[in-house]
Amino acid sequence: MSRLSRLLALVAVLLVAGCGKPDFSDAEKKTIASLALNALPVLKPDTTNRFADVPAAAALGSTLFFDQGMSHDGNVSCSTCHKIDRQFQDDLPQAVGVGRTNRRSMPLAGVARNPWFFWDGRRDSLWAQALTPLENPLEQAGNRAAFAHYIQKRFGERYERIFGPLPDLSTVPANASPLGNEAEQAAWKAMTAAQMDDVNRVFSNIGKAIAAFERSIEPAQTRFDRFAIDLASGAKPKADDAFSPEEMLGLKLFIGKANCVTCHNGPRFTDNSFHNTGVPPVKDLPLDRGRFDAVAQVEADPFNCFGAFRDGDAGACGELRFMVKDAPELMRAYKTPSLRGAATRPPYMHAGQFSSLEEVVAHYSAAPAAVEGTSEVHPLQLSDRERAALVAFLKTLSE
């Protein structure tokens, strides 16, 4: 071998090492490690719900979660839209309870780690969230007085073992709620303050039990996580865990040029924040301004962290206390969803606007302007090959 050909061989080796897909820089490796499931911290206690980690509360919550009796027509439960065998979502563009809603059901893996709930963050705790569909006329369509009576009738003993004695509900109307129909609202207004408080207390405990159950729903390890562990330790990946060159390119783009990791960061692939990404509204659905309108709703919620039904001290209310109330970027801003399991649960976005990951990636690559407010996304001009690689990588989060 001549000196020249040896030199050329060396150059070739260096070029492959420098530009070949399988190699990640130290900075990239650090980012990849930060996305892996083993970077997920232990679930923090929820001091606003003193029953959050009480097993009997979680057991009752689980019963209530699957109980169709927890609805106006007896046909809808939490699990109608949050299906246990479908990542606790329903595969529909907009959830259908008693009626058709205007938003996509959200999956529940890791839900207890959210600072804000719903696509727009209009609730600030898991237990306050759980109460909302119960009274939404399009979801479970019930009313809190009826729920209190139902709990007493069906689960009185179980309830009292966890939460203590039920109040005397004998003089509470069968149907009453400040959020109900006209008759229910009138019945609510006719109640004494003590009766309202009694009903609200039982109602809030329903939410606390359901939240205790939902805390057990956590994300599972994926092929990406096994790849990330091997990459961090330098171990050779087992046959099925090794990434194909396309998946490798997709991961590189995800944490690099495509900027996905800016918002989809951490082991849950979300910054838990709200962004306008120019996702178009769905025709025929009511006006939807996302976070912009949710701020007033969470502030007005009697079950929010500042309210009388919070356990523990107000030190837990930082998110609500320091919430951004008034900023142009709240307009049509929606929560960054986790990407774990996303590949196997189309359609996507807050009202199921996109039917495939290809459409989602194409949207972010083109970055059209928002119909209202300003999109935070900038056009990327990704090639066909790059878009396909991103989709291939996202699939590793569902395997």
Give the separation between CA 301 and CA 116, rounded to whole angstroms.
Answer: 13
- Residue from 273, 353, 365, 398 that binds other proteins (CB under 8 A)? 273
One-letter amino acid identity for 284? D
Residue 344 to residue 360: CA distance in whole angstroms = 14
Task: Examine residue 42 and tell whether it contacts other proteins (CB under 8 A).
Answer: no
| CB-based contact 390:258 (threshold 8 Å) | yes
Least distance in Å: CB of 325 to other proteins? 7
Residue 257 makes contact with other proteins by CB under 8 A: no
- Rg over alpha carbons for the chain, rounded to the nearest Å, is 24
Residue 266 binding other proteins, by CB under 8 A: yes
Q: Are 124 and 117 in contact (CB under 8 A)?
A: yes
Only segment of 150-158, 239-247, 268-276, 361-369 that touches other proteins (CB under 8 A): 268-276
| 7 or 220: CB nearest other proteins | 7
d(CA 135, CA 133): 5
With respect to other proteins, which residue has the nearer C-beta, 49 or 265?
265
Cα 380 to chain center, whole Å?
A: 26
β-sheet bridge partners, residue 334: 275
Q: Nearer Cβ to other proteins, position 365 or 375?
A: 375
Q: Which is nearer to other proteins, 56 or 323 (CB)?
A: 323
Q: Is 112 in the site for other proteins (CB under 8 A)?
A: no
Among 11, 84, 190, 220, binds other proteins (CB under 8 A): 11
Minimum CB distance to other proteins smaller for 118 or for 274: 274
Cis status, amide bond into 115, omega within 30 of 0: no
Among 53, 67, 91, 271, binds other proteins (CB under 8 A): 271
Cα pseudo-dihedral 337, 341, 346, 352, rounded to 10 = -10
Among 67, 299, 329, 372, binds other proteins (CB under 8 A): 329
The only residue of 272, 353, 365, 398 in contact with other proteins, by rule CB under 8 A: 272
Q: Is 15 in the site for other proteins (CB under 8 A)?
A: yes
Pick 3 or 283: Cβ nearer other proteins: 3
CA 208 vs. chain centroid, Å, equals 18
State the minimum distance, in angstroms, from the CB of residue 376 to other proteins. Answer: 6
Task: Examine residue 246 and tell whether it contacts other proteins (CB under 8 A).
Answer: no
- Give the containing element (helix H, strand E) for 33: helix 26-35
Which among 130-138, 146-154, 169-177, 259-267 is the span making contact with other proteins, rule CB under 8 A?
259-267
Give the integer Cα–Cα distance in Å for 221 and 65.
Answer: 25
CB 101 within 8 A of CB 138: yes
Of the candidate residues 14, 183, 186, 296, the single one contacting other proteins (CB under 8 A): 14
CB of residue 28 to other proteins, shortest distance in Å: 8
If one asks whether residue 308 binds other proteins (CB under 8 A), the answer comes out as no
Q: Indicate whether 314 belongs to the interface with other proteins (CB under 8 A).
A: no
Number of C-beta neighbours around residue 19 at 10 A? 8
Span from 3-11, 143-151, 205-213, 362-370 in contact with other proteins (CB under 8 A)? 3-11
DSSP structural state of residue 195 = H
183 near other proteins, judged by CB under 8 A = no
Strand residue runs (E) in 43-100: none
Which region, judged by CB under 8 A, interacts with other proteins, from 136-144, 231-239, 269-277, 350-358? Answer: 269-277
The binding track of 369-398 with respect to other proteins, each residue x by CB under 8 A or -, is -------x----------------------
Q: How many chain residues are in contact with other proteins, going by CB under 8 A?
A: 33
Contacting residues for 325 by C-beta, under 8 A, at least 6 apart = 295, 299
Q: With CB under 8 A as the contact rule, which of the stretches 7-15, 50-58, 138-146, 213-221 interacts with other proteins? A: 7-15
Annotate 185-243 with DSSP letters as a single string: HHHHHTS-HHHHHHHHHHHHHHHHHHHHHHTT--PPP-HHHHHHHHHHHTPPPPTTTSP
**Rounded-to-integer distance, Cα 283 and Cα 223, Å:** 38
With beta carbons less than 8 A apart as the criterion, state whether 363 and 354 touch.
yes
What DSSP designation does 349 have?
Answer: S
319 near other proteins, judged by CB under 8 A: yes
Q: Interface with other proteins by CB under 8 A: which residues?
A: 4, 7-8, 10-11, 14-15, 17-19, 23, 25-27, 262-263, 265-266, 271-275, 318-319, 321-325, 327, 329, 376
